[in-house]
């Protein structure tokens, strides 16, 4: 009776899932591998061909012991796919040679079926990606990442992508300064660990200064990441429509920027010298983080270029560096005439002595904008916030686990009691000892786990409290309610742990009346 009821319930649930529209099922299938998506075809007639109409294709050699098997898999997929369905996205992640037949087959299929989004991650050993295949009137988003133990792929201007708006290149050698002109509608560009080909001087034979030139009339967002002076010395950016520029972990000699419409500038963890053209007057937000190789003179030169900024964020180490070299700014007027907000925060995680921000440095930032607000975020505040977030996560996780364990224990106790009532005890003393031993083992486990968690909670609460004491009155008052709520929640959780132990003690194994009777009248005479 029960098995028929379960089967009926499963059929109902299966029908509910199958009744979803195709586009929703496609979304569900896109979250699993292509092999798993195909395996769903065995569920029912409704699912038999639904994978063939998926607008997303995600190919990966992972899970295939041999590349020829993967190549056959690709051929089978592409030959059986419903070509009447628009292909919106294709992903390809592969190892081996980039000249393999399946690479060209997938790229050709994608471009011939008007793909809009393409992601290629290659672990090719020696040869380059067939860039000459990158010609599409429909492609809007392209991500290309090439991992190689020998060299990066060389990217030349042989492609033609007139509809491309977003381009992300990682580990690429850019061999043509005119490359981006072949993407006339490009608006978003990310270059990660890219470089230019090393050119040798005709006279000396030594390597010349390596320039990376980014020139585009419609570019709106540019991100430069992990660029090193070992592969690129100078980056030149010329983009009249550029609004947002992010320079992250770049250690090149200089970044020259000609972008009169630039509004937001983020420089994180680098020591590149950034030169903005004199016509950059629309700058609104600047977030500057430099924590290593600090040079006060270079910092002052950089800050003076932000004269139109409204919202300025600096890391504390920059301000401390200026405080130790006040002679550089002592006779200079504040350049920030339009400043509305200045935020200072520490970039390094470790706790240092109290920040030494001189009055002269503070005046340098605020004298020309007396109405600007100054927000100082201390290291203690960051550490306290992080600890409260960690503790909250632990409490949430432990609550879920405790609820599951309690339900499992309660169910197990009910089943054990039912089994005791329905079965005849064959070896009373042996079962009784096993039962007692299991009980004490469970109780010891609960006690040890509870003690460990309680100690960790108390330790984290004490550290948070000590950090809050170190804070000034204003940030402490802002964080105190969060700490109080977290403290109350932690206290409740520890009470619940104690209650669980008490409940476990109350449910200690007892002899049933049948057991007492059997023990009182043994079947074998005592020796």
Please write the tens of the pLDDT for every residue from 110-126. 998 999 999 999 887 65
**Per the structure block, which two tokens stand in for 431?**
């079962």
- What percent of the chain is predicted at pLDDT more than 70? 75
Question: Rounded to an integer, what distance in angstroms lies between the CA atom of residue 252 and that of residue 231?
Answer: 9
User: Among residues 435, 450, 437, 428, which one has the least CA distance to residue 503?
Assistant: 450
* Digit-coded pLDDT (tens) for 412-462: 454 555 555 444 444 455 666 777 777 777 777 777 887 888 888 899 899
Residue bearing the bigger pLDDT, 417 or 472: 472
Q: Is 339's pLDDT higher than 80?
A: yes
Cβ-based neighbour number of residue 226 at 10 Å? 15
Q: How far is CA 20 from the centre of its chain?
A: 31
SS3 content of the chain, % helix, strand, coil (to 5): 45, 20, 35
Domain ranges of the chain: 20-54, 286-377, 391-420+433-520
Strand partners, 259: none
The helix/strand/coil state of 271 is coil
Q: Is the pLDDT higher at 340 or at 155?
A: 340
More confident residue, 56 or 417: 56
Mean pLDDT of 222-236: 85
Helix (H, G, I), strand (E, B) or coil at 358: coil
Q: Assess whether pLDDT exceeds 70 at residue 338.
A: yes
**pLDDT of 228 above 90:** no
Element counts in the chain: helices (H) and strands (E)? 12, 20
**Residue partners of 245: CB distance under 8 A and separation at least 6:** 222, 223, 224, 237, 257, 259, 262, 264, 265, 266
Q: If pLDDT is split at 50, 70 and 90, which confidence band does 8 have?
A: very low
Q: What is the 3-state secondary structure (H, E, C) of 135-172?
A: ECCCCCEEEEEECCCCCCEEECCCCECCCCCEEEEECE
Q: Which two tokens stand for residue 233?
A: 């010395």
User: Is the predicted pLDDT of residue 208 greater than 90, yes or no?
Assistant: no
Q: Say what the pLDDT of residue 416 is.
A: 53
How far, in Å, are 127, 176, 187, 231, 494 from residue 197 at the CA level? 16, 9, 25, 8, 62
Highest mean pLDDT: which of 138-147, 350-359, 507-516? 138-147
Distance between CA atoms of 279 and 258, rounded to whole angstroms?
Answer: 8
**pLDDT, tens digit, 9 for 90 and up, residues 39-50:** 776 667 667 677
Q: Region of 99 please: left (phi>0), alpha (psi -120 to 50) or beta.
A: alpha
Residue-level pLDDT at 258: 93
Query: Token match 């003393």: residue?
Result: 429
3-state class of 462 per DSSP? Answer: helix
The H or E element spanning position 58 is strand 56-60
- φ, ψ dihedrals at 45, nearest 5°: -65, -30
Predicted model pTM: 0.71
Instruction: Tell me the pLDDT of the chain averaged across its residues.
Output: 78
The whole-angstrom separation of Cα 274 and Cα 263 is 15
The position carrying tokens 């916030």 is: 385
Alpha carbon distance 68, 71 (integer Å): 5
**What is the C-alpha separation between 100 and 91, in angstroms, rounded?**
16
Q: Could you report how far apart the first and last alpha carbons of the chain are, in Å?
A: 50
DSSP calls for 194-257: -EE---B-TTT-SBPPPEEEEE-SS--EEEEES-BTTT-SEEEEE-TT--EEEEES-B-SEEEE
Q: For position 203, what pLDDT does the model report? A: 47
Question: Does the structure show a pLDDT above 60 at 219?
Answer: yes
Hey, which residues does 93 pair with through a beta bridge?
Answer: 60, 121
Split at pLDDT 50, 70, 90, the class of 200 is: very low
DSSP string over 373-432: EEEE--HHHHHHHHHHHHHHHHHHHHHHHHHHHHHHHHHHHHHHHHHHHHS--S-HHHHH
In this predicted structure, which of 191-200, 232-241, 246-255, 398-407 has the lowest mean pLDDT? Answer: 398-407
Higher pLDDT, 505 or 193: 193
Asked whether the predicted pLDDT for residue 160 surpasses 90, the reply is no
* Pairing relationship of beta strands 254-258 and 141-146 according to DSSP bridges: unpaired
């Amino acid at each position: 009776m029960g098995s028929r009821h379960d089967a009926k319930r499963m059929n109902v649930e299966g029908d509910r899932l199958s009744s979803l529209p195709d586009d929703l099922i496609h979304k569900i299938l896109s979250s699993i591998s292509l092999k798993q998506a195909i395996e769903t075809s065995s569920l029912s007639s409704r699912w038999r061909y639904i994978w063939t109409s998926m607008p997303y294709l995600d190919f990966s050699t992972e899970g295939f012991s041999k590349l020829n098997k993967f190549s056959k898999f690709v051929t089978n997929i592409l030959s059986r796919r419903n070509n009447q369905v628009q292909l919106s996205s294709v992903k390809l992640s592969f190892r081996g040679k980039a000249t393999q037949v399946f690479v060209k087959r997938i790229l050709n299929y994608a471009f011939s079926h008007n793909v809009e989004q393409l992601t290629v991650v290659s672990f090719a050993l020696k040869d380059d990606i067939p860039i000459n295949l990158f010609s599409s009137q429909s492609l809007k988003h392209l991500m290309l990442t090439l991992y190689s133990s020998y060299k990066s792929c060389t990217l030349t201007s042989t492609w033609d992508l007139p509809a491309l708006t977003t381009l992300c290149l990682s580990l690429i050698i850019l061999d043509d300064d005119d490359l981006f002109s072949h993407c006339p509608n490009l608006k978003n560009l990310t270059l990660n660990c890219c470089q230019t080909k090393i050119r040798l001087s005709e006279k000396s034979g030594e390597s010349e200064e390596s320039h990376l030139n980014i020139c585009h009339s419609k570019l709106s967002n540019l991100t430069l990441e992990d660029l090193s002076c070992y592969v690129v010395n100078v980056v030149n950016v010329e983009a009249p429509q550029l609004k947002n520029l992010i320079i992250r972990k770049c250690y090149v000699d200089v970044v020259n920027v000609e972008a009169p419409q630039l509004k937001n500038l983020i420089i994180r963890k680098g020591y590149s010298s950034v030169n903005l053209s004199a016509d950059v007057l629309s700058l609104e937000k600047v977030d500057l983080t430099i924590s290593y190789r600090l040079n006060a003179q270079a910092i002052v030169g950089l800050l003076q270029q932000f004269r139109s900024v409204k919202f300025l964020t600096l890391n504390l180490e920059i301000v401390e560096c200026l405080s130790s070299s006040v002679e550089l700014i002592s006779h200079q007027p504040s350049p920030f005439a339009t400043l509305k907000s200045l935020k200072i925060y520490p970039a390094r995680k470790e706790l240092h002595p109290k920040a030494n921000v001189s009055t002269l440095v503070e005046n340098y930032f605020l004298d020309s904008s007396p109405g600007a607000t100054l927000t100082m975020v201390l290291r203690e505040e960051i550490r306290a916030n992080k600890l409260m977030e960690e503790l909250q996560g632990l409490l949430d996780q432990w609550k879920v686990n405790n609820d599951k364990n309690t339900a499992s224990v309660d169910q197990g106790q009910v089943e054990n009691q039912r089994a005791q009532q329905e079965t005849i005890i064959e070896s009373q003393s042996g079962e009784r000892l096993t039962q007692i031993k299991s009980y004490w083992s469970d109780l010891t486990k609960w006690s040890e786990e509870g003690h460990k968690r309680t100690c960790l909670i108390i330790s984290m609460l004490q550290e948070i409290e000590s950090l809050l004491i170190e804070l000034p009155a204003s940030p402490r008052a802002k964080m105190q309610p969060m700490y109080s709520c977290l403290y109350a929640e932690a206290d409740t959780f520890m009470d619940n742990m104690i209650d669980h132990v008490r409940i476990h003690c109350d449910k200690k194994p007892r002899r049933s009346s049948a057991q007492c009777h059997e023990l009182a009248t043994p079947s074998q005479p005592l020796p």
